[in-house]
């Protein structure tokens, strides 16, 4: 027997097993106790490596959670946990140790936020899932410090499935409580797929920031840019309302007298690019437009029926919010 | 002309095909969710055991607690502070029985009842021999109608829950040689019901002069919810005595807790347990007292407190198993 046939013999059963066995968490639903045990074992396997990078984030007036994604201490969390950029905060690791941190950027639209630990390291960190790595139905698990750090209780773990997903927001039936905000949501490969954002009135329909929002704006957030409702006020204004659908970013309404109307955009058009940058979400569109000044030109690529059209528009001034 | 028509048709088909495919993916069908019927059925052997060994306890036809059938003679273990006045037990097969109280254990907040019947063939829980581990594990309980279950995982370390002590429901203000001023009275709480007012100065608690906020907190906190505390108040230069029946801290200060505002009703007693397992089953407070199972259908504990919208404490089987077996023998 030569070495090649030996290798073949060794790997052949494995290949065979791969073909016939579908992991329990990849089925439409677990079918029996064996599937449930597989899910339970998998979850317990993934916990040690994911829990060690979890932090509780403490500011003067509250606490949230976050997850370390790099050896030098970059932390992903929720925008409503960091509040503003350049703010001093403290993070607490699972062993109770504290480290100073400073808030970076994020987006109030998707609720994505970033923070950097400023002293110490190297830090334990987890892998971030690539773009479009998760879909509706995927099993997931969440970690957090609801109500703040509690050494006796430890990290709270919850399991569930993705029940809806867009690039701007994700919904799961994994449970959440105040203080979980900013905590990580992982898939069953142990990769970070989202950050806890908001609880819904129904405990089994909670909102998370999909990792896609971070990927789309990674360097922007890291360089301390916070897309806030206030900062958008000063930026350029196009004048449409749009919605993320399966077909793309569809324009639902064009506001009269705005740049969009003058450019001949109409409801039903699908937005594709701004200044050559491809659009995946409503958030990316808003960030790109409001990062330009009123009066500046933007090149908009859009699709109408079967044709792609490109138009240059001079952005307007965002009307003042009327609520205040 | 023909060509154009064909293209149009194909275009149309592909668009509708695409959107159909995606609309089915827009949201996960209910049956596949964590507590959907499809997921529940994977728990099948344990589900049947959970349903047949859980009882609904009612007073005036209203569900007040659930209980675990713990013996073939129909002994039922439940949460003591929830089941006061329980008269009737309903089983999952629809059978209805009258109940008699056997024993109460205020420390663990447990009560033992017995079904009034000559039968000795009631299906009953089998206690788990495994101690509550640090591992995350599936758990399940019967839902209130005893026709479905709710599933979830143990979500944190098993641990002791400390005592909270009773509260009057006031916010203490300035300290002076005359006593401690009440800066706010929580509406509907113990102090409010007894007639305490904002601006009153607390001079004595249980006969002892108080000059510091901490003294008031310590003296009152030594007592439990439901205990009566005697307070001497200085109001407009006159002294007045008040007897206040203390409330539960968590219930009294719910108004100030955003998490609890969204939680719906929680258990009154949710403190002072020697050991609990924490899990996240979606159960209302009326489902407390019922048994909690592992996926093998063994009883791992008794649901003892609904703490908030996503947290339930259960007393683990290891601290109640022997006690229950001894009580049943008596």
If phi > 0 it is left, if psi is from -120 to 50 it is alpha, else beta; for residue B149 that is beta
Task: Judge whether A13 lies within some domain.
Answer: no
Asked if residue A176 and residue A299 are part of one domain, the reply reads no
Mean residue pLDDT across chain B = 87
Q: The whole model's pTM is what?
A: 0.83
Q: Which is more confident, B122 or B9?
A: B122
Residues of chain B contacting A177 with CB distance shorter than 8 Å: 259, 308-311
pLDDT tens digits, one per residue of A75-87: 999 999 999 999 9
**A27 Cβ under 8 Å from any chain B Cβ:** no
B159 to A173: CB separation less than 8 angstroms, yes or no: no
Write down which residue in A226, A260, A288 finishes a domain.
Answer: A226
Task: Judge whether B314 lies within some domain.
Answer: yes
Asked if residue B182 and residue B155 are part of one domain, the reply reads no
Q: Are strands A98-107 and A226-227 parallel, antiparallel or unpaired?
A: parallel
Asked if residue A308 and residue A298 are part of one domain, the reply reads yes
Query: Domain range spanning residue A256?
Result: 228-317
Q: Which is more confident, A204 or B124?
A: B124
Residue of B nearest to A166 (CA): B26
Task: Judge whether A4 lies within some domain.
Answer: no
Task: Judge whether B129 lies within some domain.
Answer: yes
Asked if residue B308 and residue B240 are part of one domain, the reply reads no
pLDDT tens digits, one per residue of A32-51: 999 999 999 999 999 999 99
Query: Domain range spanning residue B141?
Result: 41-161+272-329
Confidence of residue B262 (pLDDT cuts 50, 70, 90): low
Confidence of residue A13 (pLDDT cuts 50, 70, 90): very low
A157 to B153: CB separation less than 8 angstroms, yes or no: yes
State the Cα–Cα distance between residues B51 and B60, nearest whole angstrom. 23
Task: Judge whether B184 lies within some domain.
Answer: yes
Residue of A nearest to B162 (CA): A152
State the Cα–Cα distance between residues A280 and A273, nearest whole angstrom. 9
Asked if residue B283 and residue B232 are part of one domain, the reply reads no
If phi > 0 it is left, if psi is from -120 to 50 it is alpha, else beta; for residue B33 that is beta
State the Cα–Cα distance between residues B99 and B111, nearest whole angstrom. 12
pLDDT tens digits, one per residue of A140-170: 999 999 888 999 999 999 999 999 998 888 9
- A27 three-class SS: coil
Mean residue pLDDT across chain A = 88
State the Cα–Cα distance between residues A258 and B119, nearest whole angstrom. 81
State the Cα–Cα distance between residues B169 and B216, nearest whole angstrom. 12
Task: Judge whether A280 lies within some domain.
Answer: yes
pLDDT tens digits, one per residue of B289-330: 999 999 999 999 999 999 988 899 999 999 999 889 888 887
Can you give chain B as a three-state secondary structure string? CHHHHHHHHHHHHHHHHHHHHHHHHHECCHHHCCCCHHHHHCCHHHHHHHHHCEEEEEECCEEEEEEEECCCCCEEEEECCCCCCCCEEECCCCCEEEEEEEEEECCCCEEEEEECCCCCCCCCCCECCCCCCCCCCEEEEECCCCCCEEEEEECCCCEEECCCCEECCEEEEEEECCEEEEEEECCCCHHHHHCCCCCCEEEEECCEECCCHHHHHHHHHCCCCCCEEEEEEEECCEEEEEEEECEEHHHHCHHHCHHHHCCCCCCCCCCCEEEEEEECCCCCHHHCCCEEECCCCCEEEEEEEEEECCEEEEEEHHHHHHHHHHHHHC
How many contacts, defined by CB atoms under 8 Å, are there between A and B?
121
Distance from CA of B327 to the nearest CA of A (A): 31
Task: Judge whether B6 lies within some domain.
Answer: no
Quote the pLDDT of residue B315: 97
State the Cα–Cα distance between residues A143 and A32, nearest whole angstrom. 26
Which tokens hold the place of B150?
């709710």
Of B25, B38, B137, the CB nearest to A136: B25
Query: Phi and psi of A81, rounded to 5°?
Result: -80, -40
Please identify among residues 290-329 of chain B the ones whose CB lies closer than 8 Å to any CB of chain A: 295-296, 308-311
A204 to B35: CB separation less than 8 angstroms, yes or no: yes
Asked if residue B297 and residue B277 are part of one domain, the reply reads yes
Q: What is this model's ipTM?
A: 0.82
pLDDT over 50 at B18, yes or no:
no
**A162 Cβ under 8 Å from any chain B Cβ:** yes
pLDDT tens digits, one per residue of B45-75: 999 999 999 999 999 999 999 999 999 999 9
Asked if residue A56 and residue A205 are part of one domain, the reply reads yes
Task: Judge whether A18 lies within some domain.
Answer: no
> Which of B12-16, B247-251, B303-307 is most confident?
B303-307
Distance from CA of B264 to the nearest CA of A (A): 10
Write down which residue in B188, B221, B251 finishes a domain.
Answer: B251
Asked if residue A243 and residue A219 are part of one domain, the reply reads no
Quote the pLDDT of residue B259: 55
Mean pLDDT on B87-106:
95
Looking up residue B247, the CATH number of its domain turns out to be: 2.30.42.10
- Name the DSSP letter for residue A127: P
Looking up residue A235, the CATH number of its domain turns out to be: 2.30.42.10
Asked if residue B222 and residue B88 are part of one domain, the reply reads no
Residue of A nearest to B28 (CA): A163
Task: Judge whether A53 lies within some domain.
Answer: yes
* Least confident interval from B125-129, B157-161, B249-253: B249-253
State the Cα–Cα distance between residues B143 and B89, nearest whole angstrom. 15
pLDDT over 80 at A15, yes or no:
no
Task: Judge whether B5 lies within some domain.
Answer: no
CB-count burial class (<10 Å; 0-12, 13-18, 19+) for A48: exposed
Of B36, B159, B310, the CB nearest to A152: B159
B295 to A33: CB separation less than 8 angstroms, yes or no: yes
B34 to A28: CB separation less than 8 angstroms, yes or no: no
Q: What is the largest CA-CA distance in chain A?
A: 83
Asked if residue B129 and residue B95 are part of one domain, the reply reads yes
Residue of B nearest to A40 (CA): B137
Q: Tell me the CA distances in angstroms from A133 to A136, A138, A264, B189, B237, one per residue in order.
A: 11, 10, 36, 51, 72
Which one, of B248, B272, B254, lies nearest residue B190 by Cα? B248
Looking up residue B280, the CATH number of its domain turns out to be: 2.40.10.120
Distance of CA B188 to the CA centre of its chain: 22
Task: Judge whether A15 lies within some domain.
Answer: no
Quote the pLDDT of residue A199: 81
State the Cα–Cα distance between residues A283 and A107, nearest whole angstrom. 8
Residues 6+ apart with CB under 8 A from B257: none
Asked if residue B154 and residue B47 are part of one domain, the reply reads yes
Which one, of B291, B301, B317, lies nearest residue B69 by Cα? B291
Write down which residue in A226, A257, A288 finishes a domain.
Answer: A226
pLDDT over 60 at B94, yes or no:
yes
Task: Judge whether B177 lies within some domain.
Answer: yes
pLDDT tens digits, one per residue of A246-299: 888 999 999 998 999 999 999 999 999 999 988 888 888 988 898 889 999 999
Alpha helices for chain A (secondary structure H): 3-20, 33-51, 79-82, 211-222, 229-234, 259-262, 282-290
CA-only gyration radius of chain B, Å: 26
Residue A241 and residue A293 in contact, taking contact as beta carbons nearer than 8 Å: no
State the Cα–Cα distance between residues B324 and A34, nearest whole angstrom. 32
Task: Judge whether A12 lies within some domain.
Answer: no
Strands (E), A62-213: 62-68, 74-78, 88-92, 98-107, 112-117, 139-144, 156-165, 170-172, 184-187, 192-198, 206-210
Quote the pLDDT of residue A138: 97
Residues of chain B contacting A39 with CB distance shorter than 8 Å: 138
Most A CBs within 10 Å, among B156, B260, B274, to test the A interface = B156
- Name the DSSP letter for residue A96: S
Residues of chain B contacting A44 with CB distance shorter than 8 Å: 135-136
Q: Which residues pair with A170 in a beta bridge?
A: A165, A208
Task: Judge whether A11 lies within some domain.
Answer: no
Asked if residue B148 and residue B45 are part of one domain, the reply reads yes
Write down which residue in A226, A258, A293 finishes a domain.
Answer: A226
**A324 Cβ under 8 Å from any chain B Cβ:** no
The DSSP code sequence of A275-294 is TTEE--SHHHHHHHHHTSPT
Which tokens hold the place of B227?
């205990």
Task: Judge whether B62 lies within some domain.
Answer: yes
Quote the pLDDT of residue B257: 56
CB-count burial class (<10 Å; 0-12, 13-18, 19+) for B147: exposed
Asked if residue A212 and residue A308 are part of one domain, the reply reads no
Total of domains in chain B? 2
Asked if residue A279 and residue A165 are part of one domain, the reply reads no
Of A30, A154, A199, the CB nearest to B157: A154
Asked if residue A236 and residue A152 are part of one domain, the reply reads no
A153 to B278: CB separation less than 8 angstroms, yes or no: yes
Asked if residue B323 and residue B286 are part of one domain, the reply reads yes
Asked if residue B243 and residue B112 are part of one domain, the reply reads no
Asked if residue A232 and residue A222 are part of one domain, the reply reads no
Asked if residue B280 and residue B222 are part of one domain, the reply reads no
Distance from CA of B208 to the nearest CA of A (A): 35
pLDDT over 50 at B1, yes or no:
no
Which one, of A247, A292, A297, A288, lies nearest residue A269 by Cα? A247
Question: ∠ CA A97-A101-A105 to the nearest 5 degrees?
Answer: 140
Confidence of residue B19 (pLDDT cuts 50, 70, 90): very low
Which one, of A105, A103, A95, A112, lies nearest residue A55 by Cα? A95
pLDDT over 50 at A324, yes or no:
no
Asked if residue A92 and residue A186 are part of one domain, the reply reads yes
**Half-sphere CA count of B154, side-chain side, radius 13 A:** 28
Total of domains in chain A? 2
Q: Tell me the CA distances in angstroms from A257 to A269, A321, B203, one per residue in order.
A: 18, 17, 69
Asked if residue A258 and residue A156 are part of one domain, the reply reads no
User: Percent of chain B scored above 70 by pLDDT?
Assistant: 87
Asked if residue A158 and residue A39 are part of one domain, the reply reads yes
Quote the pLDDT of residue B187: 86
- Name the DSSP letter for residue A170: E
* First-to-last C-alpha distance (Å) of chain A: 83
Which tokens hold the place of A268?
């039903």
Query: Phi and psi of A124, rounded to 5°?
Result: -65, 140
**B141 Cβ under 8 Å from any chain A Cβ:** no
**CB atoms near residue A116 (< 10 Å):** 17
Task: Judge whether B90 lies within some domain.
Answer: yes
B136 to A146: CB separation less than 8 angstroms, yes or no: no
Asked if residue A133 and residue A56 are part of one domain, the reply reads yes
pLDDT over 70 at B9, yes or no:
no
CB-count burial class (<10 Å; 0-12, 13-18, 19+) for A311: middle
Asked if residue B134 and residue B218 are part of one domain, the reply reads no
């Amino acid at each position: 027997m030569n070495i090649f046939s030996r290798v073949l013999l060794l790997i052949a059963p494995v290949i065979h097993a791969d073909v016939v066995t579908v992991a329990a968490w990849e089925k439409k639903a677990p079918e029996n106790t064996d599937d449930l045990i597989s899910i339970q074992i998998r979850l317990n396997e993934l916990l040690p490596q994911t829990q060690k990078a979890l932090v509780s984030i403490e500011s003067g007036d509250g606490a949230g959670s976050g997850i370390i994604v790099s050896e030098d201490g970059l932390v992903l969390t929720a925008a409503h946990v960091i509040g503003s950029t350049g703010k001093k905060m403290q993070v607490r690791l699972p062993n109770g140790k504290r480290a100073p941190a400073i808030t970076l950027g994020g987006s109030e639209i998707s609720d994505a936020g970033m923070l950097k630990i400023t002293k110490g390291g190297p830090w334990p960190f987890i892998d971030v899932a690539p773009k479009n790595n998760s879909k509706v139905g995927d099993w997931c698990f969440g970690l957090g410090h609801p109500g703040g750090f509690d050494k006796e209780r430890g990290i709270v773990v919850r399991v569930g499935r993705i029940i809806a997903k867009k690039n701007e927001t994700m919904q799961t039936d994994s449970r959440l409580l105040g203080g979980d905000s900013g905590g990580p949501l992982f898939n069953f490969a142990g990769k970070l797929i989202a950050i806890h954002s908001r609880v819904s009135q129904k405990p089994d329909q909670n909102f998370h920031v999909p990792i896609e929002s971070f990927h789309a704006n990674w360097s922007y957030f890291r360089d301390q840019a916070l897309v806030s409702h206030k900062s958008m006020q000063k930026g350029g204004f196009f004048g449409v309302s749009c919605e993320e659908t399966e077909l793309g970013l569809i324009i639902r309404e064009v506001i009269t007298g705005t740049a969009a109307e003058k450019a001949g955009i109409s409801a039903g058009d699908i937005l594709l690019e701004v200044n050559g940058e491809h659009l995946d979400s409503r958030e990316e569109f808003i960030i790109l437009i409001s990062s330009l000044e009123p009066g500046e030109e933007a090149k908009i690529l859009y699709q109408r029926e079967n044709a792609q059209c490109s138009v240059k528009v001079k952005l307007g001034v965002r009307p003042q919010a009327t609520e205040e | 002309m023909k060509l154009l028509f064909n293209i149009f048709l194909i275009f149309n088909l592909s668009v509708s095909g695409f959107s159909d495919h995606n609309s089915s993916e827009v949201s996960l069908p209910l049956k596949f969710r964590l507590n959907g019927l499809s997921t529940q059925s994977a728990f099948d052997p344990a589900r049947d055991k959970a349903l047949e060994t859980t009882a609904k306890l009612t007073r005036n036809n209203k569900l007040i607690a659930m209980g675990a059938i713990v013996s073939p003679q129909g002994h039922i273990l439940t949460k003591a502070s929830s089941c006061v006045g329980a008269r009737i037990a309903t089983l999952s097969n629809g059978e209805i029985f009258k109940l008699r109280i056997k024993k109460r254990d205020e420390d663990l907040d447990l009560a033992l009842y017995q079904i009034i019947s000559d039968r000795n063939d009631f299906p009953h829980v089998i206690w788990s021999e495994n101690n509550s581990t640090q591992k995350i594990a599936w758990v399940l309980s019967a839902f209130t109608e005893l026709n479905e279950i709710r599933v979830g995982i143990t979500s944190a370390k098993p641990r002791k829950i400390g005592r909270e002590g009773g509260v009057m429901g006031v916010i203490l203000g300035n300290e002076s040689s005359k006593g401690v001023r009440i800066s706010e009275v929580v509406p509907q709480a113990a102090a409010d019901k007894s007639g305490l007012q904002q601006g009153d100065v607390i001079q004595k608690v249980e006969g002892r002069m108080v000059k510091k906020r901490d003294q008031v907190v310590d003296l009152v906190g030594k007592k439990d919810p439901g205990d009566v505390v005697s307070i001497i108040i200085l109001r407009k230069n006159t002294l007045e005595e008040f007897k206040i029946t203390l409330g539960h801290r968590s219930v009294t200060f719910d108004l100030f807790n955003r998490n609890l505002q969204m939680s719906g009703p929680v258990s009154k007693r949710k403190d002072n347990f020697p050991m609990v397992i924490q899990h996240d089953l979606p159960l209302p407070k009326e489902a407390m007292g019922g048994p909690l199972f592992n996926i093998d259908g063994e009883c791992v504990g008794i649901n003892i407190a609904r703490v908030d919208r996503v947290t339930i404490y259960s007393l683990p089987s290891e601290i109640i198993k022997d006690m229950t077996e001894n009580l049943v023998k008596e």
